[in-house]
Amino acid sequence: MKKILAVTVATAGLALSGLVLPAVATAAPTGTGTGSQAAACSKWIDYTDRGRAHASCPGVDVKVTVKCANGRTYGSAPWRWEYNKAECPRGIGATSMSVQTR
């Protein structure tokens, strides 16, 4: 089962080093099943020297996609167990993210 949860975070102030903002869900999970796997994930976007999108989802494989302020989308490494992240290029902030679980 594949679940996708879109998350959008305001970009104002993301240039501050070490700023961590809680993610706000903007769309219901899609795909088959109840969506409880994606809903149970902790999701956040931060900025150190680049925008990063993180997801921690207990008990499932995770993929993360991040949309960056340069208009491009970047994906995480292949499926990883319980945690994954996707990064923007250095100096570019993240504007939104999505999470897939299986």
C-alpha 19 chain-centroid distance: 15
What mean pLDDT do residues 7-16 have? 40
How much is the pLDDT for 59?
A: 97
Q: What is the dihedral of CA 7, 13, 18, 22, to 10 degrees?
A: -30
pTM over 0.85? The answer is no
How much is the pLDDT for 77?
A: 87
Q: Which residue has the higher pLDDT, 80 or 32?
A: 80
| Number of neighbouring beta carbons within 10 Å of residue 49 | 12
By CB atoms closer than 10 A (0-12, 13-18, 19+), residue 78 is exposed
Q: Where are the beta strands (DSSP E) in the chain?
A: 3-8, 19-22, 24-25, 42-47, 51-68, 73-75, 80-87, 94-101
The pLDDT of residue 8 is above 60 = no
What would the pLDDT profile of 17-75 be if each residue is shown by its tens digit?
Answer: 344 444 433 333 333 223 556 569 999 999 989 999 999 999 999 999 999 999 999 99
